[in-house]
Amino acid sequence: MRERVTPLLSEAQIQVRVQELGAQLTRDYAGKELVVIGLLNGVFPFFADLVRAMDMDLDISFMQVASYGGGTESTGEVHILKDLDRSIQGFHALVVEDIVDTGLTLFKVGNLLKDREPLSLKICTLLDKPSRRKVQVPVDYVGFTIEDHFVVGYGLDFDGKLRNLPYVGVYHP
C-alpha cells in the first residue's frame, strides 16, 4: 500500500509546525484551566506531539468518533464510539482533530461539548481541507491547509492502514 502514497508533508515540516502550535497554545492558555480533547483514532500521533509541545499544566481526555467507515469518503453520519470520561464544565476545552474535511464530525462534537458548559471551546487541527466543507465550523488553530486529496500517515488511515507513516501523503487508490 505504501507504494500508492505520494509524500505531501514531511516529518520535519510536521514537527516544526507542531512546535509552533504548541508555543501558540501555551501563550493563549497561560494561567487557564485547560482540558485538551483528542478525537480518536487518527489524532493520536499529532495529539501526543502537540501536548508535549505545550509548556503548561493541562488535563487530557479522549473521544472516539467515526464518520468514514472503510472508504475514502465521509459517510456523512457521525457516531460517538467513546465519550469523554471527565466533566469539562468550568474548564477551557480544546478539541484536537487530525483533519477537518466536511465539518460534520466537528459540528456534532462541538454541539455536544457546548452543552456541557465549558468556559470556552476551541478547535485545533493538523490538517484543514476547507474546499470540502458541508457545514461551517470555526477552526481556531490550523497546522496546514491542504487541497482536496485523500491523505494518510501521521495517524490518518485508509481502512485502518498507513497510520504509522511518519509523514502525511496523498493516497492513490
DSSP collapsed to 3 states, 71-130: CCCCCCCCEEEECCCCCCCCCEEEEEEEEECCCHHHHHHHHHHHCCCCCEEEEEEEEECH
Sign of CA dihedral 47, 82, 72, 75: negative
Tell me which residues are annotated as active site: 101
For residue 162 the three cell numbers come to 498507513
Contact 67, 95 (CB under 8 A): no
d(CA 172, CA 5): 6
Sign of CA dihedral 20, 24, 30, 35: negative
* Residue of 47, 50, 43, 46 whose CA lies nearest to 19: 50
